[in-house]
A = this chain, B = another copy of it.
Amino acid sequence: MQSVYVAGVAITKFGKDPRTLSEIFCDAARSALGNAESPEVDAIYIGTMNPEEFTGDSNIASLIADAIGLGGVPAVRIETASSAGAAALMAGFQAIASGYYRRVLVLAGEKMTHLSTSATTRILAEVIDRRERQCGATMPALAAMITEKYRQKFRLSESRLQNILCQVALKNHANGARNPMAQFQRAITREAYFASKFVATPLRLYDCSPITDGAAGVILTSEKTDVHLAGVGQGTGPLGLQDRDTFTSFAATKIAAARAYRMAETSPQAIDFAEVHDAFTPFEIINSEDLGFFPPGKAGEAVLDGKTALDGKLPINPSGGLKARGHPVGASGLAQVVEVVKRLRGAGVSKREFKRGLTQSIGGLAANNFVTILQRADAPVVQNLWPPNGAPIARPQKVSAAPAREIEEGIIETFTILYVTPDGFLPPLALALIRALDGRLVMAQGEDETELKIGQEVFLRRVDGVWLFTVKSQLQKVQEAFMKLFQRKAVATAKDNRSGEPK
């Protein structure tokens, strides 16, 4: 396989950008081409999530090639929802690794801030499983449900969890304050974090990445440069939360990471720093564990101990991450790569040299994830196995693809109370993943948002294709127990009667 290297990289100032999507793309393209030695490329790979709906731009590959002044040059649009930028990089990698092209321009961008928050939320929510969307689930709602499950699984108190998430936000905003291309270039205080409103319990506004415009550009080449694209990997996972067998880690990341580590012949221990997909602060925690940086349930402690801070043992999101740099959805996966390359080339104030960096990008609700490993030519060779036992990562098993039939009761697997609802749903909206007695999961809307707790028993009914749940009261539970006792007695009496009948 032909080795692939990084030449020029570029990123636009993230935030509210008054220019058109095409102009933002051109800016990133020209800067990336200008940084490189020669402005000629064999092809263009463009990652973008949904310009059709965000800006009304179709046929974006031809449009951008034409706008840059590279008409004639092959141009392709690549999309995997919010990891589109990483997907474009991987497509560009494969094109050069094959020997078919020698030098390609990878671009990724999105323009979102010109729309209302509700319009943007609606477009972003289209990546969610249809059944879950119909209940009113948004990306923050699903992330919140995953977080609540994480808290329960690893037995964290509510305040411990909040401290961990707060620390992620504080760290990333502090890092963003040092990044001139970041959307938010100011540190936030603990008080500000705790004063920020809940979007979906337990996630506050400061746990969520912002709405952003921006683009990034990377030139990949077969000619040796100072930065080697050492490993790439991709994995997918079930679209719906209700089809998953685990909620506190993402199968798609584990598959992608195993592939990238194997290709780079390295392991988590040899990574100097990482840019991971912190669209929500808890995702940074889960991702750090899925990538093998910390054991399951231990990443929160590492954050609180400062291990992932800028001067820690393993800086995570030194650029500010999606949280502070901003999250133009299709751009983020490539923006992470630009940030890593810049740091490998010496950008940013740091006591020590970084030789090997990793990026991890999430598509949709962690259904299409990528891991990329970049290293300097002088990075030490580390031939570790990952995963440690060398076993391949198993594909996630879909819990149940069968349409839910009549389910009358179940228990709460996880839940959230959504305060920022999509159009057509009034806040506060209780949403829960309910496990039926036969083990199947359904996403349901609460008829009441009080008394929610993982493990709580609920009644279910279906109205207009949407599942609704109500928490069983203590009285109902006593009545049920009494009914069961009565039925058992009635059955016993019937049996006695039958046994008394002549045969």
> Does the CB pair B59–A127 fall under 8 Å?
yes
> Does the CB pair B66–A243 fall under 8 Å?
yes
Contacts of A91 in B (CB 8 A): 76, 78, 91, 94
Query: How far apart sit A238 and B70, CA to CA, in the bound complex (Å)?
Result: 9
Query: How far apart sit A61 and B43, CA to CA, in the bound complex (Å)?
Result: 23
A23 to chain B, nearest CB (A): 13
Contacts of A239 in B (CB 8 A): 59, 62-63, 66
Taken residue by residue from 52 to 87, chain A's Cβ proximity to chain B (1 for < 8 Å, 0 otherwise) reads as 110011111111011001111111111111000001
Identify the closest chain B residue to A43 (Cβ): B234
A124 to chain B, nearest CB (A): 9
Query: How far apart sit A53 and B57, CA to CA, in the bound complex (Å)?
Result: 12
Contacts of A59 in B (CB 8 A): 80-81, 126-128, 239, 363-364, 367-368
- CB of A462 within 8 Å of the partner chain: no
Taken residue by residue from 79 to 111, chain A's Cβ proximity to chain B (1 for < 8 Å, 0 otherwise) reads as 111000001001101110111100000000000
Identify the closest chain B residue to A244 (Cβ): B71
Identify the closest chain B residue to A56 (Cβ): B126
Identify the closest chain B residue to A252 (Cβ): B72
A130 to chain B, nearest CB (A): 9
Taken residue by residue from 248 to 259, chain A's Cβ proximity to chain B (1 for < 8 Å, 0 otherwise) reads as 000110011000
Contacts of A90 in B (CB 8 A): 76
Contacts of A43 in B (CB 8 A): 234
> Does the CB pair A236–B79 fall under 8 Å?
no
Query: Contacting A72 at CB < 8 Å: which of B53, B78, B99, B235?
Result: B235
> Does the CB pair A395–B74 fall under 8 Å?
no
Which bucket holds chain A's interface residue count? 35 or more
A230 to chain B, nearest CB (A): 13
- CB of A478 within 8 Å of the partner chain: no
- CB of A50 within 8 Å of the partner chain: yes
Query: How far apart sit A127 and B71, CA to CA, in the bound complex (Å)?
Result: 16
Identify the closest chain B residue to A124 (Cβ): B58
Contacts of A234 in B (CB 8 A): 43, 74, 76
- CB of A118 within 8 Å of the partner chain: no
> Does the CB pair A71–B364 fall under 8 Å?
no
- CB of A347 within 8 Å of the partner chain: no
A4 to chain B, nearest CB (A): 9
Knowing A98-B1, A98-B94, say if A364 contacts B62 (CB, 8 Å).
Answer: yes
A440 to chain B, nearest CB (A): 17
Identify the closest chain B residue to A256 (Cβ): B74
Contacts of A58 in B (CB 8 A): 49-50, 81, 123, 126-127
- CB of A306 within 8 Å of the partner chain: no
Identify the closest chain B residue to A363 (Cβ): B62
> Does the CB pair B236–A65 fall under 8 Å?
yes
- CB of A2 within 8 Å of the partner chain: yes
> Does the CB pair A236–B75 fall under 8 Å?
yes
> Does the CB pair B367–A72 fall under 8 Å?
no
Identify the closest chain B residue to A62 (Cβ): B367
> Does the CB pair A71–B1 fall under 8 Å?
no
Query: How far apart sit A20 and B218, CA to CA, in the bound complex (Å)?
Result: 37
Q: Which 7 A-B pairs have the closest CB atoms?
A: A72-B395, A97-B98, A74-B234, A58-B126, A59-B127, A98-B98, A62-B367
Inter-chain pairs besides A69-B398, A69-B401, A73-B236, 6 sampled, C-beta below 8 Å: A53-B53, A56-B126, A58-B126, A62-B80, A76-B78, A94-B98
Return 9 A-B CB contacts under 8 Å, by A number: A52-B52, A62-B364, A65-B236, A69-B401, A71-B236, A76-B78, A77-B78, A78-B78, A98-B98
